[in-house]
Amino acid sequence: MTIVNISKLNDFGIFRSYTNSDVQDFGKYNLFYGWNGSGKTTLSSLFRCIENRTLSSKFPSAKFAVNIEDGSVITQTNIVECDLNVYTFNHDFINENISWNSVVKSILLVDKEKIAERERLEELKKQQKADTEAHEKEAQEIQKLEGSIEKFGTDSARHMKTSLQSIDTTDRYYLNYDKRKFKAFIDSNLEATKSDEPLLRNQKIVDLTDAAKPDQKSTITFNHQIIQEETFNKAKTRLDDLLKTGVISQTIQRLIDNSDIKSWVETGLDLHKRHETSQCEFCDNEIAEERIKQLEAHFNDDYKAFQNRLVKADQWLSSQYFQQPQLPPASDFYNEFKKGYAEGCTTLEKAITTLNEEIAAWHNVLKAKTINPLDTGLTVKAITKTSIIAFSNAMTAIGQAVKKHNHKSKNFRVETDKSKKNLELHYATTEVKSFDYHEKKQQVIERKNKFNTLKSTIDNRKPEIRSLENSLSNEGLGAKQFNESLHKFLGRSELSLHFDPAKKGYEIIRNNSDPVDGELSEGEKTAIAFVYFITKLKENDNKMEDIIIVVDDPVSSFDSNHLFHAYSFLRSNCKNAKQIFVLTHNFTYFKLIRDWFYGVNKNRRNKTNPKDPNSFFFTIEASTSQPRHSIIINADDSLTNYNSEYHYIFSKLHKYRDNPTLSRDDAFLTANLARKLLESFFSFKYPKYRTDIAQLMACGLKGCTITDEDTKEKIYRFINKYSHSIVIEVNEDSSENLAGESHNVIADIFLWLQEVDEVHYNEMLEVIKEQ
């Protein structure tokens, strides 16, 4: 994959708020031009962050978006996951790899002769890379899982705290419920939370919530009544016997047929005996002795004895009716027992009603027998077993409610804690199942096992890789290749690298004997660093076709001869790279790289099957207003078409001359351009004074009639006041003055150039017009 563009770069040094606006996407070859301080090195730091898969320590709050060929985007949040193979040459690379006073880090080149071992090493490294990537992926997945489990613990503890606080606001355990308590509870109830058994129905939750309330009640007294089915069976047997019993007497049919007359006559006969009279109290007539004997024969002693039995049976049966017992009020019970108690009371009332109805049926039959003792055809039904059971069950239910209530009152703390724990288990199990907690914990275990297995495999493979690398690596080969390149680069051979096994790196030696001990010119340092970088690209048989190369100004301290070497060295070694980014402030070096890249585009156009260009040119421009900020833009035609920086500056400033209104940023830029243009023009005309701008301008004024001393002084003041200033501040009207006077000063400068060398001036106008 290659880098397509940088769509955002904020708070990254001088790139304060850069966003890509109509900037050409990057190609295979990309060249950036920018003056010193414009932000080239800062931009190279972004590529180095991508190389190292880490954020910049200098700009920790930076935000960026780098678009990749596959559509993905590298940002500050996912840079650690980047897999681009980037190598960046800049000051950071030099500082990390080269100590000018001691040693240059090792170069690991591979002996080409040991083919079998190389293939084995490549295979091991391939396996190591795959396992390392899998190992890192497992680490990320474990981190994600453990992070989600950690968040689950926090969220669940908060949910649990809200639910449990409604139970008992005085319980500090629930008032301070947190992730630690939740985890400890899950660990101690691991198996329970795996099943559905702890999950409660809504009514049960309500009941347990009531049961957990911290309101203690007194114990309740209750008399548990018991009835035996055998008692009613014996009573029925006696009643059946009574109903079947008859009396031997000389019956009077009319009395048998009319029970009311029979009762009236029987009572009357008894009254006459007690009052010892034979005269009818109703008609006052004398009752015949014969009639008295007939009646006495009907109501004889056996009859009277039987009648007495019936009366006693009636009295006993009347005492067998059930009365509603004195029961405690429902308000005395804990809420969770009230429902069972109320149901028991209702069932008891119904059972008593049913039993009394059945006893009443017995009573009615007995009364009929009492009225007519001679009737032996009367029968009764047994008291039903279901009625007796219903009564017993109701009494038991009431007794159970009382027993539970009293047990809780006597063991209040223990019982309320049980209710709370049941509720806690319900809520915890609900959270666990909603999150698939146990499944995720198992995934963590499995992934950690895989993680550890991969780590062991990787660690066990390292010694063999190290052994093969030691066998294949040829430090002399590394030094030899480096020295050959460096000598060719510098055009001389007094500087060399010699491998030091103790230091595991290379010492820099001058004339094959003397360590340099820091005594190197800036040009030599740059050459060593750049050659070292290119040589490092070939380590471990790296394929150039797989590498993205970023080079930041490798020519800062070079003369023109070394500029060409730097260009040639880069081109010959890196032309087949997957993608190249070159950043420079040196126009000569820019021109060398530009012409190389132009040639690439030209070859693509001239083929039988023409292709789109893949070399592109950009500039990095910094504002001169405070605070300074930089942007990346497409290179202007004047930069890509001209053969010298002088042409570029002349063209750029000439455009500003033709623009009657300039922004503040453009106005500040004109001061820099004006100084560079005058320095270049007069240095060529008067090379004797090329280091002093004041003397150069004084020389340039000689012989001029249009440009006088005042005009020269105005130009001199303008370029000294507004160019190369770290802090641009004269007075509060400085910026306004600059914008107002820059246009006039630019016109004066071009008029001066025309007066000094009209032929040169006119030809420059023709050149920029053609371009």
Q: How many CB atoms lie within 10 A of CB 24?
A: 16
User: Cα–Cα distance between 95 and 104 in angstroms, integer?
Assistant: 10
Q: What phi and psi values does residue 80 have, to the nearest 5 degrees?
A: -65, -20
Mean per-residue pLDDT, 710-732: 63
For 360-403, the pLDDT digits (tens) are 988 898 888 887 777 778 888 988 888 888 999 999 998 898 88
pLDDT value, residue 445: 93
User: Cα–Cα distance between 577 and 579 in angstroms, integer?
Assistant: 5
pLDDT at 472 over 60: no
152-175: burial string, b at 16+ Cβ within 10 Å, e else: bbeebbebbbebbeebbeebeebe
Mean per-residue pLDDT, 636-657: 75
For 41-63, the pLDDT digits (tens) are 999 999 999 999 999 989 989 99
The SS3 call for residue 180 is helix
Give the H/E segment covering residue 31.
strand 29-33
HSE (side-chain half, CA atoms, 13 Å) at 220: 28
User: Cα–Cα distance between 232 and 226 in angstroms, integer?
Assistant: 13
Query: Going edge to edge, which strands form the sheet with 548-552?
Result: 86-89, 548-552, 579-584, 29-33, 615-622, 630-634
For 236-248, the pLDDT digits (tens) are 888 888 888 766 4
338 vs 164, higher pLDDT: 338
pLDDT at 314 over 90: no
User: Does the reported pTM lie above 0.75?
Assistant: no
570's CB contacts (< 8 A; 6+ apart) are: 534, 551, 554, 582, 593
User: Cα–Cα distance between 142 and 134 in angstroms, integer?
Assistant: 12
Residue 157 structure tokens: 């503890």
Average of per-residue pLDDT values in the chain: 81
Residue 221: band (very low, low, confident or very high) from pLDDT cuts 50, 70, 90? confident
pLDDT at 476 over 70: no
Of the ranges 69-73, 112-116, 172-176, 225-229, the best mean pLDDT one: 69-73
User: Cα–Cα distance between 584 and 170 in angstroms, integer?
Assistant: 73
Residue 736: band (very low, low, confident or very high) from pLDDT cuts 50, 70, 90? very low
Mean per-residue pLDDT, 256-273: 71
pLDDT value, residue 309: 80
pLDDT value, residue 734: 45
Contact 85, 125 (CB under 8 A): no
Going from the C-alpha of 149 to that of each of 136, 154, 430, 728, the distances in angstroms are 20, 9, 15, 56
Q: What phi and psi values does residue 4 have, to the nearest 5 degrees?
A: -90, -50
Q: How many CB atoms lie within 10 A of CB 265?
A: 17
pLDDT value, residue 579: 95
Residue 725: band (very low, low, confident or very high) from pLDDT cuts 50, 70, 90? very low
Mean per-residue pLDDT, 451-471: 87
328's CB contacts (< 8 A; 6+ apart) are: 220, 221, 222, 402
556 vs 324, higher pLDDT: 324
305's CB contacts (< 8 A; 6+ apart) are: none
Residue 350 structure tokens: 């119904």
Contact 317, 363 (CB under 8 A): yes
pLDDT value, residue 405: 84
pLDDT at 126 over 60: yes
For 501-523, the pLDDT digits (tens) are 666 667 788 887 777 766 777 77
SS (H, E, C) 216-262: CCCCCCCCCCCCCHHHHHHHHHHHHHHHHCCCCCCCCHHHHHCHHHH
Residue 468 structure tokens: 């093969």
User: Cα–Cα distance between 292 and 290 in angstroms, integer?
Assistant: 5
The SS3 call for residue 191 is helix
pLDDT at 170 over 80: no
Mean per-residue pLDDT, 706-732: 67
Of the ranges 271-280, 417-426, 452-461, 609-618, the best mean pLDDT one: 452-461
Residues 14, 20, 24, 27, CA torsion sign: positive
Mean per-residue pLDDT, 436-445: 91
Mean per-residue pLDDT, 149-155: 90
One-letter amino acid of 730: V
For 671-713, the pLDDT digits (tens) are 778 888 888 888 888 877 666 788 888 888 888 888 888 888 8
User: Cα–Cα distance between 677 and 645 in angstroms, integer?
Assistant: 9
The SS3 call for residue 553 is coil
pLDDT value, residue 735: 45
Mean per-residue pLDDT, 403-430: 83
One-letter amino acid of 108: L
Going from the C-alpha of 771 to that of each of 224, 589, 619, 760, the distances in angstroms are 118, 21, 18, 17
pLDDT value, residue 632: 93
Q: What phi and psi values does residue 6 have, to the nearest 5 degrees?
A: -110, 105
Going from the C-alpha of 58 to that of each of 46, 332, 426, 626, 756, the distances in angstroms are 11, 75, 52, 20, 49
Residues 19, 22, 23, 24, CA torsion sign: positive
What share of the chain has pLDDT > 70, as a percent? 83
- From the list 260, 248, 265, the residue with the least C-alpha distance to 376 is 248
Give the H/E segment covering residue 47.
helix 40-52
User: Cα–Cα distance between 6 and 44 in angstroms, integer?
Assistant: 12
For 533-565, the pLDDT digits (tens) are 888 888 767 888 999 999 998 876 555 557 778
Residue 193 structure tokens: 């939370």
- Specify the pairing of strand 548-552 against strand 579-584: parallel
Dihedral (Cα; 251, 252, 258, 264), 10-degree rounding: -100
Lowest mean pLDDT among 49-63, 264-278, 338-352: 264-278
Contact 502, 538 (CB under 8 A): no
Mean per-residue pLDDT, 147-154: 90
User: Cα–Cα distance between 685 and 673 in angstroms, integer?
Assistant: 18
For 576-620, the pLDDT digits (tens) are 999 999 999 887 888 888 888 888 888 888 766 788 889 999 999
- Specify the pairing of strand 63-68 against strand 29-33: unpaired
Residue 477: band (very low, low, confident or very high) from pLDDT cuts 50, 70, 90? low
- From the list 30, 40, 24, the residue with the least C-alpha distance to 585 is 40
